Structure 1
Amino acid sequence: MQGALTENVDSKISKLSLPARDIRYLLEKGYSKTSSIRFVCDHYHLEKNERNVLTRVIISPNTAIARNKKRLTCKEVAGKKILVDGYNVLIAIESMLECHTLWLCDDGFVRDTRGVFRSHNNTDITIEAVKRMCSTLSKFSVPYVKVLLDSQMSQSGELAVIIRQEMVLSSLQGEVSTSAHADFDLKNAGSEYVIATADGVIIDAVEKIIDLPAAVIEEKGIWAEMII
């Protein structure tokens, strides 16, 4: 089964490589990302899921450079407070655990392309993802971790309880909270926090970022796929 999955991913990468190159060329020339992706995807008759992958993976050069400058390594976050974009991080880790493809995007961040945010439900995989997240955070030597969840998600309260319990077991000092305006809170958390997210809008608005899913998959010896 794993071999079939690898073959499918390799086939997708091969199919998307040339369109990705064309989109990058247009972005370098100053065309907007939306129009560039639409034009190229229409030209190559790409399907919706293929367009979604390119939308997530391809980033304009200037934006990619700016985001890369904000990313801290695991060692660099030692002694700093971390604010975790809960659903963004956990859904990516779940994707890894369920053997869905994770992509190393042009800005250097690891992302999934399943698009399950609004339909997310807590499962045994979610619990395992929480354990992986907390285990990795416990190795960062950070004094405080705050996990923020979107309260508009139907099971956010239950998930908050699960994370609190695992933080205690992992000897992590901090808190878990829910918010009706989680994105706003993340973007305005202030310089005291390093934000753990791969959400481009949030990355662009804050000073320092840690790619937590990338750290988790590195521990597991898994690599994210690239479209060159």
Structure 2
Amino acid sequence: MLIEAAKDIRYLLERGYPGSSAVRFVGDHYRLKDKQRFILSRNVLAPSVASGRRRKRVNCTDTEGRHLLIDGYNVLITLESYLKGEEMWTGDDGFIRDNRGVFNNHVNDRTTCRAVELMNSVLMAANLHSVILLLDLQMSMSGKLAGFIRQSFNEASIPGTVCTSRTVDHELKKAANDSVVATADGVIIDSVNNVLDIPACVIAEKGRDKISLYTLSPDTDITEG
């Protein structure tokens, strides 16, 4: 049912319908649950938008000497889902997203620390010129998390800084043309030139045996791997 719903939403999006209206109309038609609508809203795109985003993807091995800005919570929450073996989705644009929807209720715990370790393993292998990781200041305990990541950067000799900000999205959107931004946030992807999918790099290296990775791509089955 989700595959058919995704096809209908793509049809509407490509013809200019707003995303929320398309998901609501199709969701009502198929009598979809809130979770199913959430999945569709995060992962189904107009084909023209999806192809444009795919062209911005930077390979995990094509980062040497580059400047990287990281959408901290976006990356870490997805890595937490990976560590917990939770359901994950590859969107029409090729970026991996979780299905938790827990951004506003995020709590730092041991899984967060492990997610930082996974992220750092990618950064250490990337041989980057510099890294700036941004955390949303309005999130609970963001300052404490920033301090933990800052210390982990120092211990791993990662050439990076960690900042909290009330305007993370805005700062990422104005990244320099030759910089790379690590995020799966579609609004940010649409505003920048080069995007790195750190969770995808982790999965490529560590494997996906512990997770269910799904896709709604029109060219594949609903499950991958």
TM-score (norm 2): 0.91
Find the partner of 2:27 among 22, 37, 41: 41
Query: What is the alpha-carbon distance in structure 2 between the residues aligned to residue 138 and residue 24 of structure 1?
Result: 38
Can you give the 5+ residue segments of structure 1 that lack an aligned partner in the other structure? Answer: 1-14
Q: How does 1:144-155 map to 2 (within 5 A)?
A: 144-155=130-141
Q: Does 2:174 align with 1:185?
A: no
Pick from 189, 198, 205: which aligns with 1:212?
198
Q: Does the aligned pair in 2 maintain the 1:33–1:60 contact within 8 Å?
A: no
User: Which 4+ runs in 1 deviate beyond 4 A?
Assistant: none
Work out which of the residue numbers 162, 168, 185 in structure 2 matches 1:176.
Answer: 162
Letter in 2 for 1:225: Y
The question of whether the paired residues in 1 share the 8 Å contact of 2:178 and 2:193 is answered with no
Q: Given the two structures, how large is their TM-score scaled by the length of structure 1?
A: 0.90
Aligned length: 214
1:109 aligns with 2:95: yes
Given that residues 43 and 92 in structure 2 are in contact (C-alpha distance below 8 angstroms), is that contact kept between their aligned partners in structure 1? yes
Specify which of 207, 216, 219 is matched with residue 227 of structure 1: 216
Aligned residue for 1:76, secondary structure, equals: coil
How far apart are residue 190 of structure 1 and its match?
1.7
Task: Identify which of 26, 34, 39 aligns with 2:12.
Answer: 26
Which structure shows the higher helix fraction? 1
Residue of structure 2 in register with 1:164 after alignment:
150
For residue 104 of structure 2, what is the amino acid of its counterpart? R
Counterpart in the other structure of 1:3: none
Corresponding letter in the other structure for 1:100: E
Counterpart in the other structure of 1:89: 75
Give the aligned residue type for 1:43.
H
Identity within the alignment, %: 47
Task: For structure 2, list consecutive stretches of 5 or more residues without a partner in the other structure.
Answer: 218-225
Q: Deviations over 1:91-144 (max 9, x none)?
A: 000011111111000011111121111100100000000000001111011121
Q: Deviations over 1:138-188 (max 9, x none)?
A: 101112111111111111111011111211222211110111111111111
**Alignment RMSD:** 1.3
Aligned to 2:223: none
The equivalent residue for 2:61 is 75
Matched, 1:202 2:180: no
How far 1:43 moved relative to its partner? 0.6
Q: Could you tell me how far apart the structure 2 residues matched to 1:192 and 1:119 are? A: 34
Assess if the C-alpha contact under 8 Å between 1:194 and 1:209 holds in 2: yes
Equivalent residue number for residue 2 of structure 2: 16
Q: How far, CA to CA, are the matches of 2:117 and 2:61 in structure 1?
A: 21
